[in-house]
Amino acid sequence: MDHGYVHVYTGDGKGKTTAAVGLSVRAAGAGLRVFFGQFMKNGDTGELEALHLLGDRITVEQFGTGSELSAIDPAADARAARAGLDRARAVLFDGRCDVMVLDEANVADSLDYFEPGALLELVRERPENVELVLTGRGAGEEVLAAADLVTEMRAVKHYFNDGVVARRGIEF
């Protein structure tokens, strides 16, 4: 790509991670190399299995220790997140992908899992030919300001509020 842009999918409505998965599938279909990193998550998610089916056009790695929004050991989760951001930075600056998704990076950032300013620095200093997508509720103001595209998913209704917890294949 000649020029990549920075996307942020945030807000409390459903669709942030699935939008990033959809974009990744589209990019892979068009022959772009995708790196899909998931913070806060560890274990089989439908998207992990599905993206693996796309072969070497997509690399998926998880940088979490528990399920999102409910880390069992926050200190371990923070360490895993920092290591994940280091890994993402290495992939990014080695030119090994055209599209990089950092799923739930906004959540990890809002929990202060990363070094202060580290996510913002990655956004600002990324190679300009990489499309970078950050997902997760609670995106920071400076990250929002640095992005080229911000979509806020707004929960007009969400069945979570009726007690429907995450379901395999639909939410993970």
Determine the Cα–Cα distance for residues 163 and 167; give it in Å rounded to an integer.
12
Give which of ligand ATP, Mg ion, none residue 166 binds (C-beta under 5 to 8 Å, depending on kind): ligand ATP
Of 90 and 155, nearer to Mg ion (C-beta) is 155
Distances (CA, A) of 25 to 49, 53, 172: 13, 10, 16
Question: Quick check: 53 binds ligand ATP (CB under 6 A)?
Answer: no
Question: Quick check: 159 binds ligand ATP (CB under 6 A)?
Answer: no
Of 27 and 38, nearer to ligand ATP (C-beta) is 38
Cα-atom radius of gyration of the chain, to the nearest Å? 15
Question: Quick check: 41 binds Mg ion (CB under 5 A)?
Answer: no
Say if CB 36 and CB 161 are below 8 A apart.
no
Angle at 129 between CA 123 and CA 133, to 5 degrees: 45
Give which of Mg ion, ligand ATP, none residue 38 binds (C-beta under 5 to 8 Å, depending on kind): none
The encoded tokens of residue 110 equal 């809002």
User: Of the ranges 74-82, 122-130, 143-151, 153-161, which one interacts with ligand ATP (CB under 6 A)?
Assistant: 153-161
Residues that bind ligand ATP (CB under 6 A): 12, 14-18, 68-69, 137, 153, 158, 160, 165-166, 171
